[in-house]
Structure 1
């Protein structure tokens, strides 16, 4: 006569099977997005391309007209790449050639290539990254004011010197718009006084871009060492910023690992499709929600953050 199974042992067996199956699922390298297959050491380009692909308005604007663009233009190669990325791992060989990159093993700067791509992209697509600043100079002797306006893709934030141990993006952002006094050897020539005087210099945002890009100036010249060095200090990255009564929400971070002579770039991006955060590391992509989804915290601490991208919120702050 067959024996009836022990309910307790069956329960333990089922629990063990479920846990083992869960572990296997957790270890699978499945992602909602694809990586990039690229020659040499072009991670600086890969990180930027993934950020642009994951920027909804930019991706859609490029895709609308890419097939009609001449094959020699950057728009065509961007559209081709974005189309491929929607289904599988995509190759960057054509866009590398279009950008004139001849030595794929040479270390280059992600911020530089971010701007290069935007300068060569259809204005209908790149416009969302374009802001405008007013540069205001006030003579402290006659109070005469000079204004000049400039467009920008990226705003650089100074991080101090190599001895700094920590840096706050919120404080750096506020400092960028504070008036800076120049005096002594740095006095400005005033056309009203017809001579040099102390002056106040300040910036004012006169056009807020849909996507605000900040560059953390981690590479600076150390006069004691007489060479450029990288600042490895910890950075408190604000997840929201306010400017001109608008809220900006962090949605992408380009990281730089290593030092000035050699390093590696990756990009963390929040998907507008799934709402999840992903790390794009050349040909691999993985979900990293635990790094950015922290209830009640507006800041993420990082010692590798380099480029920060913020998307303008839907509602104004009153």
Structure 2
């Protein structure tokens, strides 16, 4: 027999030993074993949640007039009481002038009534005029004094209306819309700006078939910003949130739920983000990711058997967090009660 015919079978045998029997052969004992049991995990459904503000308050004009100043734009941060626009009514200046002229007129009448009253008081002491005449003059003086007080109050009302041309922010928050422009004419009560003043939250719209599966205080997972799965990430990188309210009315086959989550203050109002919500539970076979090895595009898990460890080909599912770590679901290849061999130093 030629020498080459002896070397070829020996080389094939060495390769088979090095690869552990092509993924199904026996392997030497590993350092640790883990018994696999089916564990219940939440059945999660991926939906899009919309960022909303708990309260949106309008900043309204208190008087009618022409807008002369606008100090904010969409996206501006404002503080409660901050002046954001100015409305000017030119008629108020004319009304103030008229009120001032009226006050001067009434003050002249009051001065005249006072002079007449003082003169008749002196004549009464001399017995020239009667007491009834003095009482009549006293009444005229009181009427004139009251008229001056009323005119001054009317002037104060007009002055107050002039100061109400300054439109202030009703609450601290972010300006969403400014539906007016400089020079536009508005009436009292019209909206000048809308301000998102409340805490941000996520609003979910779910199919009606999940109405009985979701509950208040359930934990949900919120992805990163971005509509695509590439930007939104997966469940392992998601952050938790909590369902705080489920609305009892179902509209157009959708049930509405609100989710509270920290750190949404830098989001846009009405921005959508990926959310995973629990809609049930299922039993899965899951293993630590380090128990899986991949060779030639096929995933293997080493399973303990009476004849020694065997590499079993498996099909993997999704990865999910578990007790501070992660687990990967095994769809086929393992069953409840199998003992897997974790990688480690061989004995």
Structure number with greater CO (CA < 8 Å, separation at least 6) is: 2
Give the structure-2-normalised TM-score.
Answer: 0.20
For the pair shown, the structure with the greater C-alpha radius of gyration is: 2
Q: TM-score under structure 1 normalisation? A: 0.21
